[in-house]
Structure formats: structure tokens, C-alpha cells
Structure 1
């Protein structure tokens, strides 16, 4: 039995908002950098336009991930070494992100009256190899995100925060005292 008192609705809501905020900020940073990189490579203008899509996509993807976490997607590895859950979740969500990117390209192409091939050219150059490469980049970018989340689930948020944000010399004093 746990000695901790059950959380109130307000505490659960605040905790959920914090989790959503962290997810959103990570996705926003990831998508904003990706959009900036794409604009630089293609020598395109319209950076504010791309960045606004990064914000919207980050909100949508954060909501998808938040709901998936509530539905316990990927929890089948919770008793296995952390790397299994980390890699599994990164693979699932990188595929989901790639699918959302493709869907966005198709919807924007339809909105602009582009053909299917023209619409998909925005996603990894429109080739299967480009789409797979984009998905692999997303997978690698999500590994640290899920690594920290899995570690936090095992160690606990206060302990992980303490380990990450307190000077090492001070950690030894706290541990010894």
C-alpha cells in the first residue's frame, strides 16, 4: 500500500498540463529546427509560414502522444530493460510523425491544387527513400525524448530533476548527509 495521498483533480490537471507542455516544447523545437533546415536547404522564403505550421503540428502531435500515453501505448515493455521501451516508443511515434507529415503534405497540396506527386515532394523529396530517411531522422531525434521519459518513470521525476540540475559536487554532499 502507498502512504501517498491520492491526487486531487486539480493536481492531476496541473500534472497533465506540465506533461503536455514538455511534450509540446520538445516537438515544437524539433519541428521548428526541421522547418528552418528545410527552408535553408531549399532556399525558400516564408519562414514565419513554416514556423506557424511547426507550432500547429507540435500541438497536434503533443496531443496525440499525450492521449497515447494515457492509453498506455508501449507499456508492454515496462518490465523490460529501459532501452526496449525507449526504442519501441521512438519507432512508433516516428512512424506516426512521418504519417502526419505525409498527411499534411497531401492536405496542403490539395488546398493548393497540386498533384499527388507535387504534394509529396515536400516530404523527404517525395521519394520512398527520402520518406524513410525522414522517418529515421525522426526516430533518432525521439530517442533522447523517450529515454528521459523512461528514465523518469523508473527513477522518479524529483530524483531525475535532482540528478540533472544540481551541481555534482553538491550531489555528493546531499547523498552523504
Structure 2
């Protein structure tokens, strides 16, 4: 009996860890590409300097998204057609990403001894237009992620994982009569 409970606990822990990993992996790729792009645009000598921030931000945001899903944040639209919860969740979490982006720039500037206003102005995060564009890019980039999360909610995480990585069942459309 105790062995069964331990196995169930271990199985659930692995399932939840896998969910957290996929959230982290998606965000890490996304934020890592942004960091690489920023390094290239600013012509920094080490293009991989900001990758550490991308990993840390991806870990933090993955935990935020994971716990937000656990506490049903932005779930008030889950019974509506998929376009509504996907759009809403993308908007909410892109705002969170903007906030973390600004915090990251301030912390990086503080590390180098710059005041807050200087670190934001020289980082590419200073103007309202630049912040808006970053938010819009994140909004669009998060849509496929939340689309998959919503589909996984409907068909199950394991089934979605199987469809992408294990096997693909054939689809037979309904015959019109």
C-alpha cells in the first residue's frame, strides 16, 4: 500500500516536472533568441553574455506560468472558444515578460554601477515604443505555446506529448452524408 502511494507520488512528480521542463524549454529558446539578437544588434563582444539572464528569466517565468496554471490564473475563459483563452493568456503573460525584461535591465545596470534610468536608456528597453514592440513580439510568440497548453488541457498532456514525440495516429475525417 505504501509502495503504491510512493509510486503514484513519484509518477505525479515526474509528470509535473515534465510539464515544468517544457514550459522552461519554450521560454528559454524564446528568451535566448532575444538575448542573442540583442547582443548582435548592440555589437557586444560576447554574443552569449546575456544567455545567463535568459536561463534565469526562463526558470523564473516557467515557475510563474506553472504555478499560475496550478492556481487557475486566466482560466475564466477556458469554456470559451480557444481563441479567447489563448489570446488572453498570451496578453497577461507578455505583460509579465515585459516586467521581467525591465527588471533584468535594471539589475544588469546595477551590476555595472549604472543608475536605473541609464541602464534602461542604454539597454534598448528605454523608449515606450521599444517596450511596446517587445511586448507585441512576446504576445505573438506566446500564442503557439498557450495554444498547445489549451489543446493539452482538452486532450490531455500525455496524449499531446505522444502526438508530438511518440507516435502519430491517423486522422480519419468524418464522412459527410
The answer to whether TM tops 0.5 is: yes
**Structure 2 matches for 1:19-168, cutoff 5 A?**
19-121=19-121, 124-164=124-164, 166=167
CA–CA separation in structure 2 for the residues paired with 1:153 and 1:76: 14
Q: CA deviation at 1:155?
A: 2.1
Taking a change above 3 Å as real, the CA distance of residues 65 and 122 of structure 1, as seen in their structure-2 partners, is farther
Greater share of helix: 1
Normalising by structure 2, report the TM-score: 0.84
Deviations 1:23-45 (A, max 9, x none): 01001000111111111112112
Q: Which deviates more, 130-139 or 106-115? A: 106-115
Q: Structure 1 regions of 5+ residues with no counterpart?
A: 1-6
Q: Which deviates more, 121-130 or 28-37? A: 121-130
Taking a change above 3 Å as real, the CA distance of residues 147 and 21 of structure 1, as seen in their structure-2 partners, is same
Q: 1:87–1:143: 8 Å Cα contact kept in structure 2? A: yes
Q: 1:94–1:135: 8 Å Cα contact kept in structure 2? A: yes
Deviations 1:100-140 (A, max 9, x none): 11011112222222122221135544101111111111111
Q: 1:123–1:130: 8 Å Cα contact kept in structure 2? A: no
Deviations 1:56-103 (A, max 9, x none): 111111111111111111111111111111111111110001101101
Normalising by structure 1, report the TM-score: 0.84
CA–CA separation in structure 1 for the residues paired with 2:145 and 2:49: 26
CA–CA separation in structure 2 for the residues paired with 1:74 and 1:123: 31
CA–CA separation in structure 2 for the residues paired with 1:26 and 1:33: 11
